[in-house]
């Protein structure tokens, strides 16, 4: 068996090589997860949470919800709330306990993230905060935590995994449209739903084509909970009973009855 965590492109290469000897594979790959805010949710609180999670690990997490999908009627309010949180997080020394957003892993990745920020402007988007390198950090692979507004789900920055502290805010026109936007992705790793009505949130969560869903702040990342994705986010599950079973094979032994 081959177990791999990384990009979808590399996962395809691993799977191709494994096919030569018919090896079983476990692949935990990319994501472009959606954070759905319904019209009865605490908008400011939900948007603040979405923004904060994007800053963790400088956005270098496959399951981070990097698409914030909010009611169209409150779009500007949502952008403002997300920008207030993310714009207040300053990148800094990863060795400091006070740092939330550290550097990216390499100069190459920093430049890649910057290229997506440049693309966002080319696609007609705008920055509600961030958008480049911090002016006060002349060394290190830092990118400002950034909120992109003014784009829909067809934009490349809304569809492709950036792997940096970047949040794109997208408008929806009701629950059905929010689910459509969430599922309109080649990925299906994780998702979040916030609503003032738990039953409504659960109904939306059940329609999302993703492996894990956070409903109103529920924490799904646990040793006893299976984790993995749909579609191009991977194959198989880790953790939980399902995670153990990935590394086993079934054998049937028959003996002659006396």
Count of helix runs (H) and strand runs (E) in the chain: 8, 12
Comparing C-alpha atoms, which of 29, 48, 26, 5 is closest to residue 192?
A: 48
Which residue in the list 28, 144, 161, 246 is annotated as catalytic?
A: 28
- Return the DSSP state at 22: T
- Distance CA(250)–CA(192), nearest Å, equals 35
3-state SS string for 41-85: CCHHHHHHHHHHHHHHHHHCCCCCEEEEEEEHHHHHHHHHHHHHH
Residue 28 annotated among the catalytic residues of the structure:
yes
Q: How far is CA 159 from CA 3, 33, 94, 185, 241, in A?
A: 26, 9, 29, 6, 32
Q: How far is CA 247 from CA 3, 4, 5, 88, in A?
A: 9, 13, 15, 44
Bridge partner list, 221: none
Collapse the DSSP code of 244 into the 3-class scheme (helix H, G, I; strand E, B; otherwise coil) and give the result: helix
Annotated catalytic residues are 28
């Amino acid at each position: 068996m081959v177990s791999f965590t990384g990009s979808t492109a590399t996962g395809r290469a691993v799977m191709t090589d494994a096919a030569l000897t018919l090896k079983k594979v476990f692949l935990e790959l990319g994501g472009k997860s959606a954070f759905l805010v319904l019209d009865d949710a605490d908008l400011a609180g939900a948007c603040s949470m979405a923004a904060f999670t994007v800053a963790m690990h400088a956005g270098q997490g496959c399951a981070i919800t990097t698409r914030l999908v909010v009611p169209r009627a409150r779009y500007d309010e949502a952008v403002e709330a997300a920008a207030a949180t993310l714009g207040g997080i300053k990148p800094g020394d990863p060795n400091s306990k006070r740092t939330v957003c550290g550097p990216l892993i390499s100069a190459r990745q920093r430049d890649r993230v910057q290229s997506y920020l440049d693309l966002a402007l080319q696609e007609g988007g705008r920055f509600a905060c961030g958008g480049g390198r911090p002016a006060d950090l002349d060394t290190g692979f830092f990118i400002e935590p950034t909120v992109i507004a003014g784009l829909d789900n067809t934009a490349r920055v809304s569809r492709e995994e950036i792997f940096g502290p970047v949040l794109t805010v997208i408008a929806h026109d009701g629950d059905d449209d929010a689910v459509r936007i969430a599922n309109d992705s080649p990925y299906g790793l994780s998702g979040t739903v916030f609503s003032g009505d738990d039953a409504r949130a659960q109904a939306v969560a059940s329609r999302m084509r993703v492996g894990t869903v956070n409903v109103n702040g529920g924490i799904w990342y646990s040793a006893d909970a299976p984790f993995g994705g749909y579609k191009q986010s991977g194959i198989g599950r880790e953790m939980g009973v399902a995670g153990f079973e990935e590394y086993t094979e079934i054998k049937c032994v028959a003996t002659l009855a006396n």
